[in-house]
């Protein structure tokens, strides 16, 4: 259908006429009503794609492939070493399950535009629930199962879901985590009360049910008639996915249907070189954007076999787990975060686990979600002999801003670079005044508007926050929040976050939210939480705490209590276990805490004493305190 072209040719086509370019890409999917208006502006004066097109994402993921003769092809493989179970679902079987669950949701009153929160472990029912919502034109919001009740309550109050879909438990290494008590607590805490909770009982933990509100998954399925796909507009929302901001309130990134479907199909072709029938594995969680884009939607839209893995890179049962999955299921392309392979390397430095498996079908390994450190890159490349491809994108964008366009032409890699901007993204590096900087000079990574299809369209219920956070700093540009540079070959090097969001094992977490929790301790006068480099997880939070005068608490006692408080409200995923008592925090004369400078000190990076600092001597005090406590990165 699409003529072969080089990266430069396709990127130039995009630059010359974005509307023509994305009109052509829209032919990758089957619309109920073909869009005539490719690019428009909505009531918020923001760019939108395919506003008058009509489609259904669930139909495109399932029914379309059945109609094309792929009904007997495996669509979803479930591999769960933590429960010692596996299952496979053909496109026909998955379509029928999705249609029935959509019918069950319909019986509970869910219709087009309603929200459904999905709080699930990595089980097939999570995928079924997502696709069932899409089938009805309902808007799903998947909340990562590792988040605590407070985090779930915040999202309930923001999204106002009619139904919550959950399971009795999740399973981590060696332990069962009951989900239902957290759901019950979240609903009790939230101001908004959903009408129903649909629950799948897992044999590892049976949950109590509340009469009149809670519905058993199997009972719902048994009484439901299959629902047909509902036509939605290209600009109608598909899902809300919450991502941490620099304040305690998370941001609900809104993804539309039309642009998302086009972008997912385009990226599978150009970024990953994946076709219908290929086996594709994104080793992530459905609670994160990688899980949305590349466990569920992109592979199924493309007609692939996708893998849902309920396990870890190590200890389920060993450091050969990833290699087993690739060999057993014939994976062509694997995608995960660098932290996963740092864990594998730590447990199995000589990659003995890899030698046990036939990886002849594995062609490439993709990494994203955090910085790909050179040692992990070199180790993977040496041990596997495969191309190791770094690429860079965000929860907000849903697909790669920069990468290696393997589907067009593989390009030479450069250490530390995500390679080149993808067609659709006009990346520019701007200084603080909004002026472009020369090649090789670091600045703020921005994207010239309009953003391509598939990217966020607003923040749920708060468009002014969308504008303030992403658009207002540099009018006409989207602010990524990352610093970096483009070299003379237009290769993009991403250096790190500009703001106070840290990246723990690929999970973006708000230090501002952690500060609110730490600062609530009665002995704490003020605090700052910063992300410090960690060899395994990329970054870990470090709390610097100033005690109130007369506070009588030991450092050990305080540290343990703060750890418990953060984990209670955010969850273990925050990995908060380091607190350092200091006499004072470095600030500007206006009172702004110099978090970036403290990060540089902790990571043993060179730094310049800001001219606006209130007292330069405090930086030496912080450095000495970090050194004494063994918190300096070396």
Interatomic CA distance for residues 13 and 7, integer angstroms:
10
Omega of the bond prior to 492 within 30 degrees of 0, cis? no
Whole-number percent of the chain with pLDDT over 70: 95
In the structure, what pLDDT confidence band is assigned to residue 588 with cuts at 50, 70 and 90?
low
Query: Does residue 311 or residue 376 have the better pLDDT?
Result: 311
Contact 56/74 with Cβ under 8 angstroms?
A: no
Query: Residue 555 above 90 pLDDT?
Result: no
Residue 485: which residues within 8 A CB-CB, separation 6 or more?
Answer: 429, 437, 439, 440, 441, 442, 443, 492, 493, 495
Query: Residue 611 above 60 pLDDT?
Result: no
Query: Residue 634 above 60 pLDDT?
Result: no
Query: Does residue 547 or residue 114 have the better pLDDT?
Result: 114
pLDDT mean over 93-118 = 98
Query: Residue 460 above 60 pLDDT?
Result: yes
Token digits of residue 318: 């060993």
Q: What angle do CA 366, 131, 77 make, to 5 degrees?
A: 50
In the structure, what pLDDT confidence band is assigned to residue 566 with cuts at 50, 70 and 90?
confident
- Residue found by looking up tokens 């790909």 in the block: 372
- Residue found by looking up tokens 């790669």 in the block: 400
Of 150-154, 441-445, 448-452, where does the model show the most confidence?
Answer: 448-452
Token digits of residue 181: 């008590």
User: Half-sphere exposure of 566 toward its Cβ, with a 13 Å CA cutoff?
Assistant: 28
Q: b/e for 178-217, b at 16 or more Cβ within 10 A? A: bbbebbbebbeebeeebebbbbbbbeebebeeeeeebbeb
Q: What is 187-254 written as a DSSP string?
A: HHHSSS--SEEEEEPBTTBPPP--TTTEEEHHHHHHTPPPPPPPPEETTSEEEEEEE--SSSSPEEEE
CB atoms within 10 A of CB 291: 23
Whole-number percent of the chain with pLDDT over 90: 69
| Closest residue by Cα to residue 120 from 81, 170, 86 | 170
Phi, psi at 246, each rounded to 5°: -90, 0
pLDDT at position 349: 86
Q: What is 417-463 written as a DSSP string?
A: ---EEPTT--EEEE-TTS-B--TT--EEEEEESSPPTTS---BTT-H
Token digits of residue 315: 């200890």
Residue 349: which residues within 8 A CB-CB, separation 6 or more?
Answer: none
Token digits of residue 450: 């309009």
Residue 41 vs residues 46, 48, 404, 450, 468: alpha-carbon distances, Å: 5, 6, 31, 10, 18
Contact 277/299 with Cβ under 8 angstroms?
A: no
Query: Residue 373 above 80 pLDDT?
Result: no
pLDDT at position 59: 98
**Cα 379 to the chain's mean position, in Å?**
25
Token digits of residue 402: 């920069």
Which helix (H) or strand (E) element contains residue 501? strand 501-504
**What digits encode the pLDDT tens for the residues 383-396?**
999 999 999 999 99
Return the minimum-mean-pLDDT range out of 83-92, 221-230, 559-568.
559-568
Query: Residue 3 above 90 pLDDT?
Result: no
In the structure, what pLDDT confidence band is assigned to residue 597 with cuts at 50, 70 and 90?
confident
Return the minimum-mean-pLDDT range out of 392-401, 410-419, 584-593.
584-593
pLDDT at position 246: 43
CB atoms within 10 A of CB 432: 9
Burial class (CB within 10 angstroms; exposed 0-12, middle 13-18, buried 19+) of 590:
exposed
CB atoms within 10 A of CB 526: 16
pLDDT at position 247: 45
Interatomic CA distance for residues 317 and 486, integer angstroms:
42
Query: Residue 87 above 90 pLDDT?
Result: yes
- Residue found by looking up tokens 């629950």 in the block: 199
Cα Rg of the chain (Å, integer) = 24
Q: Strands 237-243, 251-256: parallel, antiparallel or unpaired by DSSP? A: antiparallel
**What digits encode the pLDDT tens for the residues 134-188?**
999 999 999 988 678 988 999 999 999 999 999 999 998 889 999 999 999 999 9
| Closest residue by Cα to residue 423 from 398, 445, 459, 452 | 452
In the structure, what pLDDT confidence band is assigned to residue 103 with cuts at 50, 70 and 90?
very high
Query: Residue 224 above 80 pLDDT?
Result: yes
pLDDT at position 547: 87
pLDDT at position 372: 81
List domains and CATH numbers for the chain: 428-462+476-497 (2.30.38.10), 509-628 (3.30.300.30)
Average pLDDT, the chain: 91
């Amino acid at each position: 259908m699409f003529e072969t072209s080089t990266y430069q040719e396709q990127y130039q086509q995009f630059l010359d006429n974005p509307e023509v370019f994305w009109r052509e890409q829209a032919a990758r999917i089957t619309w109920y009503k073909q869009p005539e208006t490719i690019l428009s502006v909505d009531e918020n004066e923001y760019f939108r794609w395919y506003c008058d097109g009509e489609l259904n994402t669930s139909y495109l993921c399932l029914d379309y492939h059945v109609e094309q003769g792929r009904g007997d092809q495996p669509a979803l493989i479930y591999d769960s070493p933590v429960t010692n179970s596996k299952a496979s679902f053909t496109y026909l079987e998955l379509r029928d399950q999705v249609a029935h669950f959509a019918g069950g949701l319909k019986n509970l009153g869910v219709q087009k535009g309603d929200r459904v929160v999905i709080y699930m472990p990595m089980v097939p029912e999570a995928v079924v629930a997502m696709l069932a919502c899409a089938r009805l034109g309902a808007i799903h919001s998947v909340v990562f199962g590792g988040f605590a009740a407070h985090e779930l309550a915040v999202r309930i109050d923001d999204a106002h879901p009619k139904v919550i879909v959950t399971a009795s438990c999740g399973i981590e290494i060696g332990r069962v985590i009951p989900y239902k008590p957290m759901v019950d607590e979240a609903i009790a805490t939230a101001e908004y009360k959903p009408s129903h909770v649909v629950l799948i009982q897992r044999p590892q933990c049976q949950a109590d049910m509340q009469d009149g509100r809670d519905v058993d998954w199997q009972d719902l399925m048994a009484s439901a008639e299959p629902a047909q796909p509902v036509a939605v507009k290209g600009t109608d929302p598909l899902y809300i996915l919450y991502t941490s901001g620099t304040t305690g309130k998370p941001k609900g990134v809104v993804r539309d249907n039309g642009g998302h479907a086009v972008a997912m199909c385009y990226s599978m072709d150009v970024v990953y070189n994946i076709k219908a029938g290929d086996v594709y594995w994104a080793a992530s969680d459905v609670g994160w954007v990688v899980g949305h884009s590349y466990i569920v939607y992109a592979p199924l839209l493309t007609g692939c076999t996708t893998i849902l893995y309920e396990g870890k890179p190590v200890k389920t049962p060993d450091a050969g787990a990833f290699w087993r999955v690739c060999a057993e299921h014939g994976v062509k392309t694997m995608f995960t975060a660098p932290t996963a392979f740092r864990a594998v390397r730590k447990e199995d430095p000589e990659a003995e686990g890899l030698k046990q498996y036939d990886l002849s079908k594995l062609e490439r390994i993709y990494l994203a979600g955090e910085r790909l450190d050179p040692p992990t890159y070199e180790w993977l490349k040496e041990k596997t002999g495969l191309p190791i491809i770094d690429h860079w994108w965000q929860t907000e964008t849903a697909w790669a801003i920069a990468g290696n366009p393997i589907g067009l032409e593989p390009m030479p890699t450069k250490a530390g670079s995500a390679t080149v901007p993808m067609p659709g993204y006009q990346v520019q590096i701007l200084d603080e005044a909004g002026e472009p900087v020369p090649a090789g000079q670091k600045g703020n990574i921005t994207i010239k508007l309009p953003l391509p299809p598939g990217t966020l369209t607003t923040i749920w219920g708060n468009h002014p926050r969308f504008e303030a956070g992403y658009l207002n700093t540099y009018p006409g540009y989207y602010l990524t929040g990352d610093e970096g540079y483009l070299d003379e070959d237009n290769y993009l090097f991403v250096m790190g976050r500009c703001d106070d969001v840290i990246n723990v094992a690929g999970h973006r977490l708000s230090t501002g939210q952690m500060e609110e929790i730490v600062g609530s301790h009665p002995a704490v006068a003020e605090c700052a939480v910063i992300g410090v480099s960690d060899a395994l997880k990329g970054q870990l939070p470090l709390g610097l705490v100033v005690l109130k005068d007369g506070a009588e608490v030991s450092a050990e006692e305080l540290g343990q209590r703060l750890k418990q408080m953060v984990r209670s409200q955010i969850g273990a995923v925050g990995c908060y276990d380091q607190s350092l008592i200091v006499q004072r925090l470095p600030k500007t004369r206006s009172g702004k805490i110099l978090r970036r400078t403290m990060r540089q000190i902790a990571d043993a990076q060179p730094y310049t004493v800001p001219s606006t600092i209130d007292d330069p001597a405090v930086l030496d005090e912080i450095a000495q305190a970090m050194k004494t406590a063994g918190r300096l990165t070396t």
